[in-house]
């Protein structure tokens, strides 16, 4: 797995009454990690949409919960590209705490134009996503 990750501290508002992270919040954490991942690859989604009308929409998310995160934990959310083809990006993400896997997810995104119809992922984005380097 690529070594790209973000860290996140769990706050009380992330949890249920028992202090365990509410299950849907894992999707928010993964969205934050994806955003930072693409940013580290030099991809600015806001600029891409404003200038070219291109956006990436979620087609599918499959998540497996393995262990709970709790109030005040610090978790790591890892993100890596599984594949980039024509108009589709597939990602794998893993959330850990102290090297224990809490959740794993696979997500599929489709690249669309202003009319929300699939289009080919621009070549420079494909190159950036398949390159192992990150911007500093």
Cα-based distances in Å from 9 to 15, 29, 48: 12, 10, 30
Annotated catalytic residue within 14, 16, 64, 98: 16
Q: Assess whether 16 carries a catalytic annotation.
A: yes
3-state secondary structure 5-70: EEEEECCHHHECCCCEECCCHHHHHHHHHHHHHHHHCCCCHHHHHHHHCCEEEEEEEEEEECCCCE
CA angle 66, 71, 73 (to 5 degrees): 70
**Contact present, 49 and 55 (Cβ < 8 Å):** yes
**Contact present, 54 and 112 (Cβ < 8 Å):** yes
The residues annotated as belonging to the active site are 16
């Amino acid at each position: 797995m690529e070594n790209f990750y973000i860290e996140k501290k769990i706050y009380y508002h992330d949890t249920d009454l028992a202090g365990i992270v509410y299950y849907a919040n894992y999707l928010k954490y993964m969205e934050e990690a994806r955003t930072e991942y693409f940013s580290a690859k030099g991809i600015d989604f806001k600029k891409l949409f404003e200038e070219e009308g291109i956006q990436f929409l979620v087609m599918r998310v499959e998540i497996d919960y393995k262990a709970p995160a709790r109030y005040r934990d610090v978790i790591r959310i890892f993100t890596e590209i599984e594949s980039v083809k024509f108009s589709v990006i597939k990602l794998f993400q893993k959330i850990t705490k102290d090297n224990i896997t809490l959740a794993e997810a696979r997500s599929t995104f489709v690249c669309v134009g202003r009319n929300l119809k699939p289009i080919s992922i621009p070549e420079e984005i494909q190159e950036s996503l398949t390159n192992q380097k990150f911007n500093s």
